[in-house]
Amino acid sequence: MASTKSKILTLLEENRGQTLSGSDIAKKLNISRSAVWKGIEELRKEGHEIHAATNRGYCLAESSDLLSAEGISLWLTTPAIAKDNIHIYKSIGSTNQEAKKMAVAGAGHGTVILAEEQTEGRGRRGRSFFSPKGTGIYMSVILRPQGTAEEAVLTTTAAAVAVSRAISRVLEIETRIKWVNDIFVGDQKVCGILTEAVSDFQTGTIESLILGIGVNVTTGKESFPDDIRKTAGSLLPTQASVSRNRLAAAILDELFKLVDCLDSEDIMDEYRARNFVPGKQITVHCGNEIYDAKALDIDPQGGLVIQKSDGSIHTLRSGEVTIRTK
C-alpha cells in the first residue's frame, strides 16, 4: 500500500508545474492538512523542489529532477513493471550487484533498480563506470528469460536498440551503436550496457539476466575523469536539468516491447543500421588476445563478423573492439 508521502508525490507529479492547495490535496487523498504538510516536508528533505505560496498551495517545480518510482510510473506504458517493483536509491555501490542479490532472493521479471549515484559502478572487462550524483540514469533490470545463452546476447542487442529509440523519442537526439553495447552521440560514448547472467550451477541454465544501463544525461565534460574525458560525453551537457524520470520510463517501455520478440529480424536490422563498426579497421581485445582486423558485418545472432590480417573470417561473440584511426 502506498504511503501518504508517495500519494502526495504522485499527485504533484501528475500536476507538475501547477499549484495545488493543501485542502485540495487533503480532500483528494482523504487525509488531514497536517498530514499534507508533513508529507511535503519529507519530500523536500529528500530533494524534491516543491514551491509553496501563501493561500495558494504547493507546486512541484518543472526543474525538479529527482528520480522516483512515482515520476517514472507516470510515463510508463508497459504493464510488465509495477510501481512497487521500481526501487530507487540515493547512493549505491552498483545497481547490477543489488539486482543480482534481489534476483537470487526471488525478485521477479521486470524488477527495476535505479540510483542517483553509484560509488562502484561497473562496466565491461572489470572497468569502473563513472556515475556522478544527479546527472545520469544508472539502472538495472531483472529479466527472467527462457534460459538460453543465445537469448542473453540478443537481450544486449535489443537493449541497445531500446535505449537508442528512447533517446530519439524523448530528446530527439540521434545516436549510433558501437558493437557490442555502447551508445554514441557523434564520437563520444553517452551510454554503456552490461548484461550479466545468474545461473543455476547444477543445471547450467540461466535463471535471470541482469541488464545494467548507464546513461550520461547532463554530466558536464569537466566532470569526467581524465582517462575518459576525450571519449565520454553526455546527451545534454549544457542543460541544467531534464526529466530523467521520463527518459528512464521510455527506455523501459522500449525494452519491454523487444524482450518478448528477441528473434525478430526487425530488431537485428535496426541494430545493424545504427551500428557504425562494420566496414571499419579495428583492434580486437578478446581474452588475452589483441589483434588487428577489419569489421565486415553483424550476423543474425549479434556476432561481429571480422576478417583477420591473414584473410581468415571469424565471428566474435564476446570481447571488445576499438576503431583504428589512420
Alpha-carbon gap, residue 27 to 17, rounded angstroms? 20
Q: Which of 180, 190, 181, 210 is nearest to 95 (CA)?
A: 210
CATH number of this structure's domain 4-60, picked from the four choices 3.10.129.10, 3.30.70.20, 1.20.1640.10, 1.10.10.10? 1.10.10.10
DSSP string, 150-168: HHHHHHHHHHHHHHHHHHH
Among the listed residues 204, 121, 212, 207, the one whose alpha carbon sits nearest the alpha carbon of residue 160: 212
- pLDDT-derived band at 53, boundaries 50, 70, 90: confident
Mean pLDDT of 120-138: 82
Determine the average pLDDT of the residues in 116-127.
Answer: 79
What number is the average pLDDT over the span 79-101?
Answer: 96
pTM: predicted TM-score of the whole model, two decimal places: 0.92
pLDDT single digits (tens) 228-246: 999 999 999 887 667 999 9
What would the mean pLDDT of 258-268 be, rounded to a whole number?
A: 91
pLDDT digits (tens, 9 = 90+) for 280-290: 999 999 888 99
Beta bridge partners of 96: none
Mean pLDDT value across the chain: 92
- Which residue spans of the chain are classified as CATH 3.30.930.10? 69-274
Question: How many of the other CB atoms lie within 10 Å of CB of 150?
Answer: 14
| Digit-coded pLDDT (tens) for 147-205 | 666 777 789 999 999 999 999 999 999 999 999 889 999 999 999 999 998 877 666 67
Burial class for 198, CB neighbours closer than 10 Å (0-12, 13-18, 19+): middle
Structure confidence at residue 204 (pLDDT)? 65
* Segment 47-51 mean pLDDT: 95
Report percent pLDDT > 70 for the chain: 95
**Which superfamily does 69-274 belong to?**
Bira Bifunctional Protein; Domain 2 (3.30.930.10)
The predicted structure's pLDDT at residue 201: 64
φ/ψ bin of 109: left (φ > 0), alpha (ψ from -120 to 50), beta (otherwise): beta
pLDDT of residue 148: 66
Residue pLDDT, tens place only, 18-35: 999 999 999 999 999 999
Burial 232-248 (b: 16+ CB within 10 A, else e): bbbbbbeeebbbbbbbb
Continuous H helices in 123-241? 149-171
Which CATH architecture best describes the domain 281-323?
Roll (2.30)
The CATH 1.10.10.10 portion of the chain extends over 4-60
Instruction: Please determine, for residue 124, whether its predicted confidence score (pLDDT) is greater than 70.
Output: no
Per-residue pLDDT, averaged over 67-85, amounts to 95
User: If we measure between CA atoms, which residue out of 68, 65, 160, 146 comes closest to residue 112?
Assistant: 68
Residue range 312-322: average pLDDT?
A: 92
Which residues of the chain does CATH 2.30.30.100 include?
A: 281-323
